[in-house]
C-alpha cells in the first residue's frame, strides 16, 4: 500500500513539475515577444496563439515567430563589391523631369537601400502566362554569356521541364547558368528534377534550405522573388512563377498575373539583386565576374528596383508603398491576391479615400488559400467605411501585384499586400515612373475591372453570419499568416 502511495506522489510531483516547466516556458516566450517591441497587433496575435493553443503555439512561434532583422548574411566586402557593379550616377531631381512627389519617392528608395534610378528603359507587359513564357524561352535560347534565373516556385511540370531543357542545352554549350529556387516553395518537387539540371552543368541551388537542424531558423523566411537576367541584355520581373497553372489556370480555369520584360540600364540592379542572393546562400561571387554592360535602350521609362527582406531594418517595399499612397492626388488602383494590410497601410488608403481620391482595391473572389481569403475579406468592411471601392475578380485566381498611382507611377513585382510579404519574405518590386507605362497598366486594370464585381456596403453587411465568423477568426491570425 505504501509503495502505491509513493508511486502516486512521485507521479503527482512529475505531473506538476512538467506543468510548472511548461508554464514557465509559455511565460518566457510571451515575455520575449513583448521585449522585442514589435508591432502591437503582431505581438497580440502571437500572445493569443500561445495562450489559446499553448503546445501548438510554442511550436509555431519557434518555427515562424522569431526575427532575423539586422542579421548579416553577406560580408561588407562583398556588399561593396556588388554595389560597384550597378555603376549608378547620382540622382538629379531637376534633370529627371519627375514630379516633386516622384522625386521624393526615388530619394526614399535611395535612402533605404541605395537603389539607383535609371532612365531610358523599355518594358513589355505580360498579363497572361502563355505569352510570357513563349517570349522568355525565346530569350533563353538566344543567351550567349549567362542566364540568371530566380523563382519562388519552379515546378517539375510541362513548362518547368521545357525551361529546364533549355537551361541544360545552354549550359552544355558553355553559357553560365545559375538558378535559385526557394526550398519551401518547391518542397514537393522531386530532387531529381533539379539534379538533372545540376548534372548537366547548371548551377542550381535552393534558398535557405530547410533541414531539422535549421528548421526553426529558416522555415519562416522565404525568397519570394521572381527575377531573370539574360546576358545583361534583357530581364524579367513580376508575379509569375514557373508552373503550368500560370498558363492553363489550373483548377481555377483562369490565372491572372502581371510580369514584365525589361531592357535598359535598370538591368544593372537586376544583376546586383541576383548576385546578392547568390552570395547570401554562401555561393562565391565568381572571380571573373564582370559587371552587366546594360546600355540605354531607345526607351524613355524611368525605373528603380527596390528589394526587401526580413534581415533589413526598414521594410523597404512597405515604406515605398506607403510613400506612393501618400503621394496620390487623383487615384490609387491596387491589385493583389491577398489583402492583409498593416495598420499603417490600411490607414493610408483610408485617408486617401476620405480625401476624395479614387481608391480601388481588386482581389480575387476565389483564392488558392482559404485562410488568406477569409483574412483578406475581413478588411473589406474597413475599406468600404472609408469610401474605398472594393472589387472581386470573378473569372479565376487573381495573382497580380500592382499599384497604380495617378497618371505617372506604377509598381509591379513579387510583393503581395500582406504581412508576410512586408515582414517575412525576400521580395523585389520595380518602381516605374512613366505616363506611357502607367496608361498601359491602367488599361489592363480597367479590363480586369469589367470582369469584377463591386462590393456594395449593404450586400456586404448582410453576408452570411458564418462567413463573418470565419473572417473575424482569420483576421486575428493575419499578422502571422
Single out the catalytic residue among 42, 170, 178, 224: 224
Long-range own/partner contacts, residues 213-220 (CB < 8 A, 24 or more apart)? 215/63, 216/62, 216/63, 216/66, 217/66, 217/68, 219/63, 219/64, 219/184, 220/63, 220/64, 220/65, 220/66, 220/310, 220/424
Q: Is 127 a catalytic residue?
A: no
Q: Is 399 a catalytic residue?
A: yes
3-state secondary structure of 28: helix
Q: What is the DSSP letter of 367?
A: -
Q: Is 374 a catalytic residue?
A: no
Q: Residue 35, class by beta-carbon neighbours within 10 Å (0-12 exposed, 13-18 middle, 19+ buried)?
A: exposed
Residue 247: CB partners within 8 Å, gap ≥ 6? Answer: 128, 129, 130, 133, 159, 255
Q: Residue 199 and residue 192: Cα distance in Å, rounded?
A: 10
Single out the catalytic residue among 132, 323, 399, 424: 399
Single out the catalytic residue among 226, 272, 424, 470: 226
Single out the catalytic residue among 132, 259, 401, 470: 401
Q: Residue 93, class by beta-carbon neighbours within 10 Å (0-12 exposed, 13-18 middle, 19+ buried)?
A: middle
Q: Residue 218 and residue 184: Cα distance in Å, rounded?
A: 10
Q: Is 172 a catalytic residue?
A: no
Helix axes 2-35, 40-52, angle to 10 degrees: 170
Cell (9 digits) for 457: 456596403
Buried b (16+ CB within 10 A) or exposed e, 435-468: eebbeebbebbeebbeebeebeeeebeeeeeeeb
Q: Residue 212 and residue 228: Cα distance in Å, rounded?
A: 31
Single out the catalytic residue among 231, 257, 277, 408: 231
Cβ count near 138 (within 10 Å): 10
3-state secondary structure of 208: coil
Residue 57: CB partners within 8 Å, gap ≥ 6? Answer: 26, 46, 49, 50, 51
**Strands 389-393 and 452-454, bridge-based pairing:** antiparallel
In DSSP terms, 123 is beta-bridged to 262
Number of H helices, E strands in the chain: 20, 19
Q: Is 323 a catalytic residue?
A: no
In DSSP terms, 241 is beta-bridged to none
Radius of gyration of the chain (CA): 24
Single out the catalytic residue among 127, 406, 408, 448: 406
Q: Is 224 a catalytic residue?
A: yes
Q: Which residues are catalytic?
A: 224, 226, 231, 399, 401, 406
Amino acid at each position: 500500500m505504501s509503495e502505491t502511495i509513493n508511486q502516486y506522489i512521485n507521479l503527482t510531483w512529475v505531473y506538476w513539475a512538467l506543468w510548472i516547466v511548461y508554464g514557465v516556458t509559455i511565460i518566457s516566450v510571451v515575455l520575449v515577444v513583448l521585449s522585442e517591441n514589435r508591432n502591437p497587433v503582431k505581438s497580440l496575435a502571437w500572445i493569443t496563439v500561445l495562450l489559446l493553443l499553448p503546445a501548438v503555439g510554442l511550436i509555431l512561434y519557434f518555427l515562424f515567430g522569431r526575427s532575423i532583422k539586422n542579421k548579416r548574411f553577406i560580408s561588407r566586402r562583398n556588399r561593396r563589391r556588388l554595389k560597384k557593379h550597378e555603376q549608378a550616377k547620382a540622382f538629379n531631381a531637376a534633370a529627371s523631369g519627375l514630379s516633386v512627389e516622384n522625386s521624393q519617392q526615388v530619394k526614399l528608395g535611395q535612402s533605404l537601400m541605395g537603389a539607383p534610378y535609371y532612365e531610358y528603359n523599355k518594358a513589355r507587359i505580360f498579363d497572361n502566362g502563355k505569352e510570357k513564357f513563349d517570349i522568355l524561352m525565346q530569350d533563353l535560347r538566344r543567351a550567349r554569356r549567362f542566364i540568371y534565373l530566380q523563382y519562388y516556385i519552379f515546378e517539375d511540370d510541362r513548362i518547368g521541364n521545357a525551361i529546364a531543357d533549355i537551361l541544360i542545352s545552354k549550359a552544355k554549350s558553355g553559357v553560365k547558368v545559375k538558378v535559385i529556387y526557394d526550398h519551401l516553395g518547391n518542397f514537393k518537387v522531386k530532387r531529381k528534377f533539379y539534379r538533372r539540371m545540376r548534372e548537366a552543368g547548371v548551377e542550381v541551388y535552393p534558398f535557405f534550405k530547410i533541414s531539422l537542424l535549421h528548421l526553426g531558423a529558416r522555415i519562416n523566411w522565404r525568397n519570394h522573388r521572381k527575377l531573370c537576367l539574360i546576358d545583361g541584355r534583357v530581364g524579367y520581373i513580376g508575379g509569375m512563377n514557373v508552373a503550368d497553372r500560370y498558363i492553363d489556370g489550373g483548377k481555377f480555369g483562369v490565372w491572372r498575373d502581371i510580369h514584365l520584360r525589361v531592357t535598359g540600364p535598370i538591368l544593372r540592379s537586376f544583376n546586383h539583386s541576383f548576385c546578392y542572393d547568390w552570395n547570401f546562400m554562401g555561393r562565391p561571387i565568381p572571380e571573373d565576374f564582370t559587371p552587366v554592360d546594360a546600355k540605354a535602350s531607345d526607351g524613355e521609362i524611368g525605373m528603380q528596383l527596390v528589394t526587401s527582406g526580413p534581415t533589413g531594418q526598414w521594410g523597404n517595399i512597405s515604406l515605398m508603398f506607403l510613400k506612393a499612397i501618400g503621394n496620390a492626388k487623383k487615384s490609387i488602383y491596387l491589385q493583389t491576391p491577398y489583402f492583409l494590410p498593416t495598420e499603417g497601410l490600411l490607414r493610408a488608403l483610408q485617408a486617401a479615400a476620405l480625401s476624395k481620391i479614387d481608391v480601388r482595391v481588386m482581389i480575387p473572389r476565389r483564392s488558392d488559400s482559404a485562410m488568406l481569403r477569409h483574412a483578406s475579406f475581413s478588411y473589406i468592411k474597413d475599406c468600404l467605411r472609408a469610401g474605398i471601392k472594393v472589387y472581386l475578380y470573378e473569372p479565376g485566381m487573381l495573382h497580380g501585384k500592382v499599384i497604380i498611382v495617378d497618371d505617372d507611377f506604377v509598381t509591379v513585382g513579387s510583393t503581395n499586400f500582406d504581412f508576410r510579404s512586408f515582414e517575412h519574405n525576400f521580395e523585389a518590386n520595380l518602381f516605374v515612373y512613366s505616363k506611357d507605362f502607367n496608361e498601359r497598366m491602367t488599361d489592363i486594370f480597367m479590363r480586369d475591372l469589367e470582369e469584377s464585381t463591386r462590393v456594395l456596403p449593404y450586400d456586404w453587411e448582410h453576408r452570411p453570419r458564418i462567413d463573418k465568423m470565419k473572417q473575424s477568426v482569420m483576421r486575428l491570425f493575419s499578422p502571422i499568416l
